[in-house]
Amino acid sequence: MTAADGPEKIGQRRGMFGVKGSGDTSGYGRLVREVALPGGSPRPYGGYFDDVVDALAAALGDDVFAAAVERVVVFRGELTLDVRREHLVAVAQALRDDAALRFELCLGVSGVHYPADVDRELHAVYPLMSITHNRRIRVEVAAPDADPHVPSLFSVYPTTDWHERETYDFFGVIFDGHPSLTRIEMPDDWVGHPQRKDYPLGGIPVEYHGAEIQPPDQRRSYN
């Protein structure tokens, strides 16, 4: 596990907004900003975060904890544990069952696609809550586009059932061990995963309330 490191720069974003200190107040100055993920955080993490990390290390054992947790990130007041996917189920089990942790509730699964994060393009994020201790943390796991498999947490948190299906539907993350990993919003024969950043924005009309909405590249242009 990396104790602390700097932000992980994974690319650049070009557009109108999101850059500070450029002197351009119009928003049309061909602004460029770096896309970076927060790096590992040093101790002390603050608040109850140190207690959670120490309790998890005690529950798993120091060697397993070091192998399972890539880094601990404290960013914008939230604690995130970056977990290697092969250890995800064991970490979730410890977080749920250990008396010092008791994260009984998984609030869902969110998919994220970072095309420039090489060999870690697909991320799945699990927000957890301890009702017993009134605490919240996040567990994050990454997988490459070439092997988009992540163990399902259905056996630990049955409430992830539909959330994992949605993340599969929209991002293409395959949750191994899920009891019925099928699309939940898009039609079964839909091609592709529409919330990925490499999904084409044009060329697909959408039917809504009996009307056909033209795809973006065929709508009115103001150019």
**What is the predicted pLDDT for the residue at 201?**
72
The domain ranges of the chain are: 38-215
**What is the predicted pLDDT for the residue at 88?**
98
Evaluate whether 60 touches 68 at the Cβ level (below 8 Å): yes
- Name the residue with higher pLDDT: 87 or 202: 87
CATH number of the domain at 38-215, out of 3.30.2010.10, 3.40.50.1980, 3.10.105.10, 3.30.460.80? 3.30.460.80
User: Going by C-beta distance under 8 Å and a sequence separation of 6 or more, which residues neighbour residue 61?
Assistant: none
**What is the predicted pLDDT for the residue at 223?**
47
pLDDT over 50 at 59, yes or no: yes
Q: What is the pLDDT of residues 159-198, one digit of tens each?
A: 999 999 999 999 999 999 999 999 999 988 888 899 998 8
Q: What is the pLDDT of residues 99-131, one digit of tens each?
A: 999 999 999 999 999 998 889 999 999 999 999
Nearest to 8 by CA among 114, 139, 146, 124: 114
User: Going by C-beta distance under 8 Å and a sequence separation of 6 or more, which residues neighbour residue 80?
Assistant: 72, 73, 74, 125, 137, 138, 139, 140
**What is the predicted pLDDT for the residue at 57?**
97
Q: What pTM value is reported for the model?
A: 0.82
